[in-house]
Amino acid sequence: MMRVDWTDLDAFQDLPRLTGLALSPDGSRLVTSVASLDAKRQKWVTALWEVDPTGERPATRLTRSAKGEGGPVFTATGDVLFTSTRPDVDEPDDDAKSALWLLPPVGEARPVGTRPGGVAAPRPRGGHVLVTSATMPRAVTAEDDAAIRKDRKDRKVNAILHTGFPVRDWDSDLGPDAPRLLLARLGEPELTWQDLTPAPGRALDHAGYDITADGRTVVTTWRVAEAHGDNRMTLRALDVATGSWRVLADDARYEYGGLSGAAGLAISPDGSRVAVVRALRSTATEPPDNQVVVLALDGSGEQVVSGWDRWPTSLVWAPEGDALLVTADELGTAPVFRIALADASVTRLSTDAGAYTDLRVSPDGATVFALRSAVDSPPLPVRLDARAPGAPRPLRAPGDDVTVPGTLTEVSAVADDGRPLRSWLALPEGDGPHPLLLWVHGGPLGTWNAWSWRWNPWLMVARGYAVLLPDPALSTGYGLEHVRASWGDWGGATYNDVLRLTDAALDRDDLDRNRTAMMGGSFGGYMANWIAGHTDRFRAIVTHASLWRLETFGPTTDAAWYWQREMTPEMISKNDPSQYVDRIVTPVLVVHGDKDYRVPVGEALALWWDLCHRAEDPETMPHRFLYFPDENHWVLTPGHAGIWYGTVLAFLAEHVLGERGALPGALGVAQDTPTGQ
């Protein structure tokens, strides 16, 4: 076990962060990506590491560069493909685009494929590799693309002319380029790209795609524009030889690729079928619903293979083609399930409380490799039996297991309508009574079931707080009725469930009901705002990237087409937290990044003005606004993450513990500056 000083944010940030997993065709090699801080501690740099699938040998580092590497995948011949903005230079060019690199089993990595707009998400199959590349709409060739980019750069032009919606995505502006699918035959020193989608528009944003082993057919999700700014995700197949497209699935009731996008599509080993997560589109009165369907590539039929009350989030085929291995949220975990295609029966393979991602099945179909995390354990590679239930076997990886500074238990309750409620409770060491911090997750379709580097409760636990992580109505993993209970009624069942679980936690003798605080981000920030206007039971509230005025949020978010389905005038009137600003008496810390396009910063500005406008004496106003001009929805850079935690902890210390918390020095304010009166 690796011991960490959890009161030291630098020590926490020094922990290796694993993402992604790739398995060689013969099952003898595993590769993962490991992020660590650069020498200046200003950004995360990712390297590739090899993990022994047997669990016997320690992990070994494969790559090392100042730019980092990502997205490792294996070719059929056992080479590793990855993307990187190498070669290294003393002063990295921020405009550098990622290229495709190849690392043989023996020897040095070399670049094999470039494009002016970079390449991303390689998908090798057989002797081919499929990638996406951002390309200018007017460009026919790569040379055209490069010339247009150079002209814009030389003229210092960054203007974008839009012809439709969307125009933004999370923290990025869309355009003027757009993703295209490119195909190349492997084995050449420099790959020659075939442009499969010369004029896609925005159809390939967040696309999931795959290619048959013979390289003849490509299947991809395809975004189709609808009236009134809406759009839907369909499924298309391309005959590579003829360039002809055919529609595999297009139904206005569904989104193909699922709610999670690219993880929900895979072609069968024999190339005859494609499995895809299909999501029933939500309305103002009905929530979405995920299921797995298998479509014949020749158009001869469709099979719905999952009907149990869980939402599949990712899928892979068993090598025999007779089953699918999927992940889905379930009761505060995210297990691995096996769905037999013969009868659509579902078997849970992982028997522990882990959350699994990046499933990779061995060639003999006997073993599934994955990254496993939990609320109290960061992602690490493991192996499971792919055919029968069992416990995971950990593999040796950089960092090994981490010991958290406390214990994890559960708190349960019963909702007003009789639904069972559950939550995680992270407890500090010692008898207590400990102050309680209620932390509501975002989404709202989400759950507390996995490790989070960004929203980590153990940094709070190390400072003496017990942290309650509830899964109220709208949380995933508890069935459709749990989501439906608060659909269109955010301030109803979800609010009541959160308080019911808080009351259940405070019935414990080791928690102090007189020292409580509440915080949340995104939808959790919405709930923080709602709670602030409906109860004064908490001593402090932290609202991050939060929704405040629903009427302005809906049209200005990057995904306005989605929210227009749910945010009717009636829903807004019923659930808008800004209507209750006059009731707010609890000190509120408002946090927002200016580059947040999912919840635009205007929400925080409106909230802050509403709080300031009602302050009789600005000198004694208890509220504070932590603003990040260059951050997005999450606040990701190492330095700013430190500012975030430091400021939040100082605010909580003052209002919950009655102590003067030390503000981060990099804020540049006097250390005797109060975080609130």
Per-residue pLDDT reduced to its tens digit, 498-538? 999 999 999 999 999 999 999 999 999 999 999 999 999 99
Measured in whole angstroms, how far is the alpha carbon of residue 72 from the centre of its chain? 19
pLDDT score recorded for residue 289: 93
CB 676 within 8 A of CB 624: yes
Q: Is the pLDDT of residue 399 over 90?
A: no
pLDDT score recorded for residue 90: 42
Question: What residues have CB less than 8 Å from 175, skipping those under 6 apart?
Answer: 160, 161, 162, 167
Q: Token pair for residue 399? A: 């960092």
Q: Is the pLDDT of residue 88 over 70?
A: no
- 65-74, 407-416, 588-597: segment of lowest average pLDDT: 65-74
User: DSSP E strands: which ranges in 307-350?
Assistant: 312-317, 323-328, 336-340, 346-348
pLDDT score recorded for residue 259: 64
Per-residue pLDDT reduced to its tens digit, 530-554? 999 999 999 999 999 999 999 999 9
Assign 1 a pLDDT band (cuts: 50, 70, 90).
low
CB 220 within 8 A of CB 239: no
CB 451 within 8 A of CB 378: yes
Q: Is the pLDDT of residue 297 over 60?
A: yes
CB 162 within 8 A of CB 175: yes
Mean pLDDT of 160-169: 95
Backbone angles phi, psi at 415, to 5 degrees: -70, 170
Per-residue pLDDT reduced to its tens digit, 335-381? 999 999 999 999 999 999 999 999 999 999 999 999 999 999 999 99
Choose which CATH entry (3.40.640.10, 3.40.50.1820, 3.40.50.450, 3.40.50.1360) describes domain 406-667. 3.40.50.1820
- 147-156, 294-303, 415-424: segment of lowest average pLDDT: 294-303
pLDDT score recorded for residue 584: 97
CB 171 within 8 A of CB 592: no
pLDDT score recorded for residue 674: 62
Q: Token pair for residue 665? A: 């020095």
Per-residue pLDDT reduced to its tens digit, 641-658? 999 999 999 999 999 999
Nearest CA to 377 out of 363, 361, 362, 397 is that of 397
pLDDT score recorded for residue 258: 77
Return the ∠ at Cα 544 (arms to 543 and 550), rounded to 5°.
Answer: 80
Q: In whole numbers, what is the pLDDT of the chain averaged over residues? A: 94
Amino acid at 187: G
Q: Is the pLDDT of residue 236 over 50?
A: yes
Q: Is the pLDDT of residue 93 over 60?
A: no
Nearest CA to 463 out of 405, 520, 401 is that of 405
pLDDT score recorded for residue 458: 98
pLDDT score recorded for residue 146: 96
Q: Token pair for residue 80? A: 């590793």
* Percentage of the chain lying above the pLDDT 90 cut: 91
pLDDT score recorded for residue 3: 75
Mean pLDDT of 212-238: 95
Its sign, for the CA torsion 469, 474, 476, 482, is positive
Q: Which H or E element spans position 32?
A: strand 30-37
Q: Is the pLDDT of residue 638 over 90?
A: yes
Assign 264 a pLDDT band (cuts: 50, 70, 90).
confident
Q: Is the pLDDT of residue 324 over 90?
A: yes
Q: Token pair for residue 468? A: 């309650």
Going from N- to C-terminal start, the domains of the chain cover 17-154+168-183, 406-667
Q: Is the pLDDT of residue 677 over 50?
A: no
Measured in whole angstroms, how far is the alpha carbon of residue 642 from the centre of its chain? 21
Task: Measure the CA–CA gap between 291 and 186, rounded to whole angstroms.
Answer: 35
pLDDT score recorded for residue 91: 41
Residue 640 burial (CB count, 10 A): 18
pLDDT score recorded for residue 619: 85
Q: Which CATH architecture has domain 17-154+168-183?
A: 7 Propeller (2.130)
Mean pLDDT of 133-144: 96
